[in-house]
Amino acid sequence: MGKRTKADELNCSGCGYDNCREYAVALLDGKAEREMCISQMRKEAQNQASVLLRKMPYGVVLVDENLRIVDTNAKFIDFGGEEITMISDALGGLAGADLRKIVSFHKYFAAVLASGEETSEFDIREDKRNLKLSIISIRPNKLVCGIIQNMDDSHLMKEIISEKIREVIKQNAESVQRIAYILGESASFTESVLNTVIDPDKK
């Protein structure tokens, strides 16, 4: 259960037992489930979220109500340029840093934190870059997640176009089948062309 030292034994009683040791005994006796340890499940969820955060192809930053950075991925640090990268390398990350000193568009984060809006999107022009900023409230007025995409990135644009084509194929599947019935191979050919645009390696 990840409790290797006395300090790991929180004895929070979230599992329904008086302390961690009683819970461990019940677990070994088959009278308790692993998922009953709330603190451990929360820790594992945070670890999984952290891995996901770092694997995302966009810049991602978690910001609290004081506009302090809680966590970021490497892509977000790259958006800040060489100086921010050097600061991050020296400090071992940007956790605790003031967002207002890292990016110029911090006002959007402040606005969403103040409003508690569930999701908001903004188009930003900065340093000759066209950025799309999506801000999601994780805990309204307390914690938000910002996702930053460089719209000038040709690879990103291809992904967006491909996703739109997938949506068209999915939403019009029934129509494609009807047309295929009437026109035979023509509709299937059209769908195969669209799929080739999505994945050029498909023949």
- What is the dotted CATH code of the domain comprising 57-152? 3.30.450.20
Domain range summary for the chain, segments of one domain joined by +: 7-43, 57-152, 155-198
Residue-wise pLDDT tens digits, 76-134: 888 778 888 888 888 788 888 999 988 889 999 999 999 999 889 999 888 788 888 99
Q: Find out whether 67 and 100 touch, Cβ atoms under 8 Å.
A: yes
Does the predicted TM-score (pTM) go above 0.75? no
- Long-range (24+ apart) CB contacts under 8 A made by 26-29 are 27/1
Q: CA nearest 70: which of 53, 47, 95?
A: 95
Residue-wise pLDDT tens digits, 118-177: 889 999 888 788 888 999 898 899 999 898 888 877 565 556 655 655 665 566 555 555
